[in-house]
A and B are shown apart, each in its own frame.
Chain A
Amino acid sequence: MSIDSPLPGLHLNRFAQRRRFLCETSRGLGLAALGALLPSTAHGAELPHFQPRARRVILLCQSGAPSQIDLLDAKPALRDRHGEELPDSIRQGQRLTTMTSQQSSHPITASPFAFQRYGTAGLEFSELLPHTARVADDLCVVRSLYTEAINHDPAITFLLTGSQQPGRPSLGSWLSYGLGSESDDLPTFLVMISGGEAGDQPLNGRLWGPGFLPPRHQGVKLRSGADPILFLNDLPGFDRATRRQWLDDVKRLNRLQQANLPPAEVENRIDQFELAFRMQQSVPELTDLSSEPQHTYELYGDDARQPGTFAANCLLARRMIERNVRFVQLYHRGWDHHQQINSKLPRKCRQVDQASAGLITDLKQRGLLNDTLVIWAGEFGRTVFCQGSIQRDDYGRDHHPRCFSIWLAGGGIRGGVTLGKTDDFSYNVVEDPVHVHDLQATILHCLGIDHERFVFQSQGRDFRLTDIAGNVVTKMLR
């Protein structure tokens, strides 16, 4: 059944086998010789391609698309044109969604939120992001990102897999596949989800799915609640000692069968059980925040005490990074503000601002920021014009793919930088455009990967995360 491996069910090429041998001798039999943890370089080139600046990644994915005009792309001059029709010279007949394309009027809507400059480099932040503003000198704010999709499903799929249509591996799966694991007892690629009220944009397993890569590169969801990883907790009737005995019985029986099988095959299965057993220990340790001191919560905010919040997940992300998890993906839902930005956006910002900044500060204090790349991004931006008509205290913004703002920090990224410029309406990029594929190329670059050489053959052709495009944005790099 296993097609691409010399040993059915086990995907080790020569390089991986050698790695496995080293693991066995250096760390004891079985340890780290584990499918989900093994570096696998089936594409033939040993990774990294060059010295990486980052070894781990945290992606703070803001699902629904935060409004760049109200948060990171200051356009104070729009106040004077508030309510005026967006000039055709700006829109240039570009595609709108069918939610606003039928509107007879597209009135400019200035942000009611005040912007200020922060840090030595004077980066501009909205008053809704006071904590993020405080770590300005660590951040590279990109105002010139643009995408090709105008609806949520294709856009977030594009951001995470490099393609609008389903079927491609997610960024984390690519990294798991290319770089393998650095942890002995935690998965390579962990996913957490927060937010999620009725009407928030849905998510989809393909955003952490392996596409055509071997399925073990799929992201593992870490969930708040009793069973943080599926089936982690022993069922009633089993205590640790019973489970240990039970596993030993299974191991003894499996070993009886291995005489005529490839030696690694049964051992590998045994190893999976051993890793599972260790995860039963390591995951609760990871999620047990009782040892976190008071000042942790001062950093991340009191929300972090509440499991399942974005803040708690940020704190968990730091704990994962400490434990050498390669790729941590947080989804925070609920940024799709077609209406009532003035009330909904501040609330959303309160949920993420302090914790995002706290995470940067915390990583920095622990010396982890240097080789951890942190990215804060949604799937597209929002329109300068109002969806519907402007009310005194109410306005909404539709989807806008032509420009949006994100920030990056840590491993390999230049701090205190604003990259790119949009026109006076935060509509079109006028300087240093960064395409989603460029962002993906740059992320891979930080990890020591040449995105053009990092390929996987499927359906008769080589596939890349960046499809057949993408340029590393050197201006973002240290």
Chain B
Amino acid sequence: MKLVRSCLTARLLTALVSVSLPLTARAAGPSDHWAFQPPQRSSSPALRESAWPRHSLDRLVQAQREQRQIPPAPAAKPSSALRRLSYAIRGLPPDTDDVAELLSSEQSEALERIADRYFASPRYGERMAAHWLDVARYADTHGYHADTHRDMWRWRDWVIDAWNRDLSYQTFTVEQLAGDLLPQPTLDQQIATGFNRNHMVNFENGAIDEEYRLEYVADRTTTTATVWLGLTLQCARCHDHKHDPIRQREFFSFFAYFNNIDERGLDGQRGNAVPLIKAPTALQQAKMAELDRAIPQLERSIAARLNADDPRQSEWEQQLISSRELRTPLPQDATLHLTMDELHGNRLIDRQRPERTAQVNMDVELAPGTDGQALLLTGDVGIQVDDFPSWRSLDPLTIVIRFFPTSLDDCQLLTRIDAQRNEQGVSLFLRDRQLGLRWVQDGNVVTSMEVAAQGVLETNRWYSLVVTMDGTGTAAGVDWYVNGERRANEVRRADFVGPLVVKEPLWIGGAPNRDGIRGLLDDVRIFSRQLSADECALFAGQDPLRTVLTTDRDRRTEAQRQLVRRRYLEWSDPQFLSLDRAWREAVRDRRQLEQEAPTTMVMRELPAPRETRVLRNGLFDQPGETVQPGLPEVLNRRGARPANRLELARWLGSADNPLAARVMVNRLWQLHFGRGLVTTPDDFGTRGAPPSHPELLDWLAIELLDQSRASSGSLKRLQRQMLLSASFLQASDFAPSLEYDPDNRWLSRGPRLRLSAEMIRDQALAASGLLVNTIGGPSVLPYQPPGLWEEVAYDTQSFTAQTYHQSHGADLARRSVYTFWKRAVPPVSLAIWDAPDREVCTVMRTPTHTPLQALALMNDPTYLEAARYLAETLLVQTTTPASAGPTASSAARPARSAGPSAERAVWESNLAEQIIAEAFLRILGRPPGKPELAILLDAGQRHRQNFRDRPGAARALLSVGEAPRWRNDRDVDTAALAAVVASILALDEAIHVD
């Protein structure tokens, strides 16, 4: 590890420094550092200018400005203020209705009203989550080496929901850090702990487990310290901290809180890494709960009927016994029944459905069977059944085969597999003289269920084989009957997950490239239900029902009584049949929900705590003294001794921690103002920047944790105070302040911010009307130039997230917070706009200007598609007010225009002007000025001329993107307007809020 050398040298340096410079940091008394003291509430400052502040926090801003004789900037224009609020709260452009509302009413009241609406909108949670996902290093892949997929979107959705519910900051802290340790934690509280499982996970072949496990613990330690303490604790991993009063021992004491997880160092090859839980979505949970109510009810109804007494039953029994029918008939509801008696050429007829045939792959001979003819099979004979319905692992299934083996070499009896996909599917076979059944699922990795029937077969005797499956996809759900005798299961493998749908052709006997059974083959039946034991016995000539019927009623066992009763009800009571069917379906649906429910990685404590030792030089293989969990002393004025992670989390989120609230409010301030009150959000230590407004920072921190309020810990309320302040709502273009406050440290003007990566893309989607507002769910894969994953991929066959399978339809227009985040190749549409790779915790993004961003605005199809869609929507709506929505298929171009009444010249009238002004308003939140409109109209005219000369170019432009076209045949006008709208999306103003 790098740490060996670097830290040895570091120790040497430390030694040298302490010899030669003993008085620098240490003697200054770093424990007196401002950030380690509890926040202080300051008295309201006396101000010369008292009309400007809207809010107490403005007074603290104003006090600093007055000290420096800085005049306040005028208020921002209403449209700027609204756009600023809309992005700050929702991450989206303001709705045009909101603009209208603001312009038609008293401004400050309207702003408050609209802001409250925005805070109440679920878009708020998505916007805040986009920020928190950086902090939490959230991603959809593991990050190291092959960088395969993981499923942490349930945690991501928890975050969105937490912000929307306005979970108090304390609860937000406790549930994410230690929700698993709360008494009887809810599913949501367990999901929340995914925060500290979002770190990278490795399974590179050859790596050492413990080395990486300790790396994960170190990541949790470091991230938690950065996020809740604003401290660079990681600097004390290899040696005592150089600048802050934190000893290496204290690093490992803090580390100890996160070192007790029931995890593995090398994991994640099959999706999520342990510990993980099943985390059904709210919808799945609701359906499960409904079924959990319905199933027992059904069972009670069924049991009531089974236990009731019915005088007519004995009559029925008598009738059966005395009937000429000596045997109970075989079940008649097979989906397939091949008798081998009718061979036409090489075709066999399905008795059950004569229109279906089965093709024998070569000429075969017939021989006498047990019932009519049998096929004489050499090992290469296979029978392919045409168009057989698919099998679902969740549905019960019974296969009945009668055969006479002349050899017991390994062979297939029945096969339904995809050889190209790791033999996904089902097969019934003989191996080592034993009957075996296998379900294989090819997915992230290959999983399967394989069982064998106990006991070996013999050659040259007839076998009646019945194998039933109950639809659980588990080994326990498979039952074997060989010549009527139940055989126990030997489980070979049992990691099949399901659900799986098997659609491959059904082969009986051999299959392509696979040897089939040798000997005689007689009847083959397939049932799409699980036959009961008494039914299975019928195929071996036994008749359990009849046996029972002839047994005296008083001497029947309970099982026998129930069997007869059940058969009677099936015969006599149609309601019983439907109840029984409903019960089976409910059980299957419940199982399907269980199987389909996503998993998510969580924190789970080991039963006995793992010993934590100081690692010399921070190295996994150099353990030193044992340490107990504990807090860094310098922060722990009251001598708290959190015994475990839960107590630590409670302490971190409490007022006893001098830093948590300060660090949080500073991050939010930075998010909204573009510059933190402390400009080093990840370092509040002695080397970090001192706060520009210490009183303001403390005031906000105290506000957040003020227990005297019902809204204690409300992050919505705190941000409402920030965002409706005069400080936030000042004009940002106050030129004089550039002179005396160039970096706006003293808040001499309002913030002018580059939109975040997510906002830039979401703006185009929202303004165009394409945005799909579904909340949550698995991550989606929007447009991305082809090949970016593949060129760095490992083995695309064996590992997930190596090949980019772009989404289609609605998933192309989801908010960017739902974009699949592959760490090795962060989503291009976001990375270009300075999104981080999320390998480690990021508390601040740095916006830059690059030509690649210009190219993206020019040529990322996202923007041209949005421009096209918006232009066409407005064109069609303006010319035909009652127009229907876009056509479902972009390929199907309507021949007719919207109607002759709509044939108004777009450019000669003021229609083009209206359309452009509306697009401008939707994107920028303000109407265009005259000179702007003139430029845009002029541009539109030129584009129109150009496209009229090149109609192919117009069509080509309109073909960009998969979003459907409207019914509209004005390609030239649409393309010209689309080019104009694309230029609005590319404006400097469009990618900023000012």
- Find out whether the CB atom of B794 lies under 8 angstroms from the CB atom of A215: no
Distance to closest chain A CB from B993 (angstroms): 9
Kindly identify which residue among A164, A253, A275, A276 contacts B987, using a CB–CB cutoff of 8 Å.
A253
The A1-59 residues at the B interface (CB cut-off 8 A) are: 1-11, 34-36
Cβ-based interface call for A82 (8 A): no
- Find out whether the CB atom of A235 lies under 8 angstroms from the CB atom of B864: yes
- Find out whether the CB atom of B738 lies under 8 angstroms from the CB atom of A262: yes
- Give A246 to B846 CA distance when docked, in angstroms: 29
Chain B window 816-842, contacts with chain A (Cβ cutoff 8 Å), 1 for yes, 0 for no: 000000011110100110100101100
Kindly identify which residue among A216, A252, A399 contacts B935, using a CB–CB cutoff of 8 Å.
A252
Cβ-based interface call for A85 (8 A): no
- Segment touching A, from B200-208, B449-457, B962-970: B200-208
Distance to closest chain B CB from A59 (angstroms): 17
- Find out whether the CB atom of A193 lies under 8 angstroms from the CB atom of B792: yes
Chain B window 844-863, contacts with chain A (Cβ cutoff 8 Å), 1 for yes, 0 for no: 11111111111110111100
Known: A35-B849, A250-B986. A206 touches B837 (CB 8 A): yes
- Find out whether the CB atom of B743 lies under 8 angstroms from the CB atom of A5: yes
Best-buried of B6, B826, B956 by chain A (most CB within 10 Å) = B6
- Find out whether the CB atom of B206 lies under 8 angstroms from the CB atom of A99: yes
Q: Which residues of A contact B935 (CB under 8 A)?
A: 249, 252-253, 256
Chain B window 111-134, contacts with chain A (Cβ cutoff 8 Å), 1 for yes, 0 for no: 000000000000000000000000
Residue of A nearest to B989 (CB): A257
- Find out whether the CB atom of A3 lies under 8 angstroms from the CB atom of B675: yes
- Segment touching A, from B144-152, B184-192, B633-641: B144-152
Q: Which residues of A contact B541 (CB under 8 A)?
A: none
- Find out whether the CB atom of B687 lies under 8 angstroms from the CB atom of A460: yes
- Give A341 to B680 CA distance when docked, in angstroms: 51
- Find out whether the CB atom of B859 lies under 8 angstroms from the CB atom of A202: no
Known: A230-B852, A275-B851. A269 touches B960 (CB 8 A): no
Chain A window 197-236, contacts with chain B (Cβ cutoff 8 Å), 1 for yes, 0 for no: 0111111111001000011100010010101011111111
Known: A246-B983, A253-B983. A216 touches B793 (CB 8 A): no
Q: Which residues of A contact B864 (CB under 8 A)?
A: 235
Distance to closest chain A CB from B834 (angstroms): 4
- Give A393 to B935 CA distance when docked, in angstroms: 74
Q: Which residues of A contact B797 (CB under 8 A)?
A: 198
Q: Which residues of B contact A297 (CB under 8 A)?
A: none
Known: A2-B846, A34-B851, A158-B2. A202 touches B752 (CB 8 A): no
Total of A-B residue pairs, C-beta within 8 Å: 296
Cβ-based interface call for B979 (8 A): yes
Q: Which residues of A contact B13 (CB under 8 A)?
A: 468
- Find out whether the CB atom of B679 lies under 8 angstroms from the CB atom of A3: yes
Residue of A nearest to B859 (CB): A231
Cβ-based interface call for B767 (8 A): no
Cβ-based interface call for B66 (8 A): no
- Find out whether the CB atom of B787 lies under 8 angstroms from the CB atom of A223: yes
Cβ-based interface call for A332 (8 A): no
Kindly identify which residue among A203, A236, A242, A437 contacts B946, using a CB–CB cutoff of 8 Å.
A242
Cβ-based interface call for B624 (8 A): no
Cβ-based interface call for B402 (8 A): no
Q: Is the interface of B mostly helix, strand, loop or mixed?
A: loop
- Find out whether the CB atom of B674 lies under 8 angstroms from the CB atom of A249: no
- Find out whether the CB atom of A9 lies under 8 angstroms from the CB atom of B849: yes
- Segment touching B, from A105-113, A147-155, A358-366, A409-417: A147-155
Distance to closest chain B CB from A393 (angstroms): 24
Q: Which residues of B contact A8 (CB under 8 A)?
A: 674, 744, 751-754, 847
Cβ-based interface call for B215 (8 A): yes
- Find out whether the CB atom of A276 lies under 8 angstroms from the CB atom of B858: yes
Distance to closest chain A CB from B804 (angstroms): 14
- Find out whether the CB atom of B987 lies under 8 angstroms from the CB atom of A36: no
- Give A393 to B858 CA distance when docked, in angstroms: 55
- Find out whether the CB atom of B844 lies under 8 angstroms from the CB atom of A3: yes
Kindly identify which residue among A149, A209, A233, A262 contacts B837, using a CB–CB cutoff of 8 Å.
A209
Cβ-based interface call for B458 (8 A): no
- Find out whether the CB atom of B849 lies under 8 angstroms from the CB atom of A10: yes
- Find out whether the CB atom of A250 lies under 8 angstroms from the CB atom of B959: no
- Find out whether the CB atom of B147 lies under 8 angstroms from the CB atom of A204: yes
Cβ-based interface call for A254 (8 A): yes
The B676-727 residues at the A interface (CB cut-off 8 A) are: 676, 679-680, 682-683, 685, 687-688
The B718-749 residues at the A interface (CB cut-off 8 A) are: 733-735, 738, 742-744
Kindly identify which residue among A98, A148, A167, A230 contacts B839, using a CB–CB cutoff of 8 Å.
A167
- Give A78 to B794 CA distance when docked, in angstroms: 34
Q: Which residues of B contact A148 (CB under 8 A)?
A: 1-2, 4-5
- Give A6 to B675 CA distance when docked, in angstroms: 11
Distance to closest chain A CB from B3 (angstroms): 8
- Find out whether the CB atom of B987 lies under 8 angstroms from the CB atom of A97: no
- Find out whether the CB atom of B207 lies under 8 angstroms from the CB atom of A98: yes
Kindly identify which residue among B2, B145, B235, B787 contacts A153, using a CB–CB cutoff of 8 Å.
B145
Kindly identify which residue among A34, A36, A202, A260 contacts B733, using a CB–CB cutoff of 8 Å.
A260
Kindly identify which residue among A99, A223, A280 contacts B205, using a CB–CB cutoff of 8 Å.
A99
Q: Is the interface of A mostly helix, strand, loop or mixed?
A: loop
Known: A205-B826, A272-B854, A467-B6. A460 touches B232 (CB 8 A): yes
- Find out whether the CB atom of A269 lies under 8 angstroms from the CB atom of B988: yes
- Give A227 to B785 CA distance when docked, in angstroms: 9
Cβ-based interface call for B953 (8 A): yes
- Give A176 to B359 CA distance when docked, in angstroms: 68
- Find out whether the CB atom of A250 lies under 8 angstroms from the CB atom of B987: yes
Q: Which residues of A contact B986 (CB under 8 A)?
A: 250, 273
- Find out whether the CB atom of B849 lies under 8 angstroms from the CB atom of A469: no
- Find out whether the CB atom of B849 lies under 8 angstroms from the CB atom of A272: yes
- Find out whether the CB atom of B943 lies under 8 angstroms from the CB atom of A1: no
Cβ-based interface call for A237 (8 A): yes
- Give A205 to B791 CA distance when docked, in angstroms: 11
Distance to closest chain B CB from A234 (angstroms): 6
Cβ-based interface call for A392 (8 A): no
Q: Which residues of A contact B287 (CB under 8 A)?
A: none
Known: A9-B754, A209-B837. A269 touches B849 (CB 8 A): yes
- Find out whether the CB atom of A230 lies under 8 angstroms from the CB atom of B828: yes
Kindly identify which residue among B2, B235, B670, B794 contacts A467, using a CB–CB cutoff of 8 Å.
B2
Q: Which residues of B contact A4 (CB under 8 A)?
A: 679, 846
Kindly identify which residue among A216, A229, A254 contacts B855, using a CB–CB cutoff of 8 Å.
A229
Distance to closest chain B CB from A135 (angstroms): 29
Distance to closest chain A CB from B303 (angstroms): 56
Distance to closest chain B CB from A379 (angstroms): 12
Residue of B nearest to A242 (CB): B946
- Find out whether the CB atom of A166 lies under 8 angstroms from the CB atom of B839: yes
Cβ-based interface call for A339 (8 A): no
Q: Which residues of B contact A98 (CB under 8 A)?
A: 205-208
Q: Which residues of B contact A199 (CB under 8 A)?
A: 794-795
- Give A275 to B856 CA distance when docked, in angstroms: 13
Cβ-based interface call for B385 (8 A): no
- Find out whether the CB atom of B845 lies under 8 angstroms from the CB atom of A1: yes
Q: A153-B144, A235-B859, A262-B738 are in contact. List 19 more A-B contacts (CB 8 A).
A: A4-B846, A8-B847, A9-B754, A36-B850, A36-B852, A202-B145, A202-B792, A235-B960, A237-B960, A237-B979, A242-B946, A245-B942, A246-B939, A253-B983, A268-B849, A398-B206, A437-B5, A461-B243, A467-B2
22 contacts between A and B (CB under 8 A): A1-B756, A3-B679, A36-B852, A98-B207, A164-B1, A167-B840, A196-B790, A202-B824, A203-B792, A216-B849, A230-B785, A231-B785, A231-B855, A237-B957, A246-B979, A260-B733, A269-B849, A269-B988, A279-B855, A460-B680, A460-B682, A461-B232
Minimum-distance CB pairs A-B, first 4: A237-B957, A97-B206, A236-B956, A260-B733
- Mark B residues whose CB is within 8 Å of A: 1-2, 4-6, 9-10, 13, 143-147, 200, 202, 204-208, 215, 226, 232, 234-235, 242-244, 670, 674-676, 679-680, 682-683, 685, 687-688, 733-735, 738, 742-744, 751-754, 756, 785, 787, 790-797, 823-826, 828, 831-832, 834, 837, 839-840, 844-856, 858-861, 864, 929, 931-932, 935-936, 938-939, 942-943, 946-947, 953-954, 956-960, 975, 979, 982-983, 986-989, 992, 994
